[in-house]
Homo-oligomer: A and B are copies of this chain.
Amino acid sequence: MTPEVREKIQVLFDLKGLRMTRPRQVILDAAFSDQGAHFTADELFEKAKALDSKTSRATLYRTLVLLVDSGLLHEIDLGKGVTSYDPNFIDSPDHNHLICMDCAEVIEFEDQHMSVLGDCVTRRLGFAPSNKTIQIKAKCETLRRTGSCAHKAG
């Protein structure tokens, strides 16, 4: 966990008068550990259990809501009905996602032109570009070459 993240969390907890408990600490450690960016609720649960086997799903989901609502975590859609979470916005607020339509491989990228143009479009349509995120779904190389990705049967 970077100092930047640590501070954001501190600010949030101070602001809302939240208590820093062990269950929350464990979940935060799991969510913002630097290994592996995106995760699903269940993946985070596994990570957290590795840190403390007593981790409960109820608390995890409640913490997840807390973090998403306050902007420390972003929900991203990897397709296929999976809700994933992205803990990487604090360090890289301007990053976007390229997601394979088939195998859900995710690549994060930053692109100034894309960001600027996205801002223009967003503004033109009456939206505020703050916290704007851009997702592009396309076909990964494997899909393009072989016609299907690893996890797909046919």
Contact = CB atoms under 8 A, between A and B. Distances in A.
B144 A125 contact: no
A57 interface: no
Interface stretch (A26-34, A42-50, A114-122): A114-122
A100 interface: yes
Interface in A107-154: 107, 109, 111, 113-114, 117-118, 121-122, 125-141, 143-144
B127 A140 contact: yes
Interface string A72-90: 0001110111010000000
Interface of A: 75-77, 79-81, 83, 98, 100-101, 107, 109, 111, 113-114, 117-118, 121-122, 125-141, 143-144
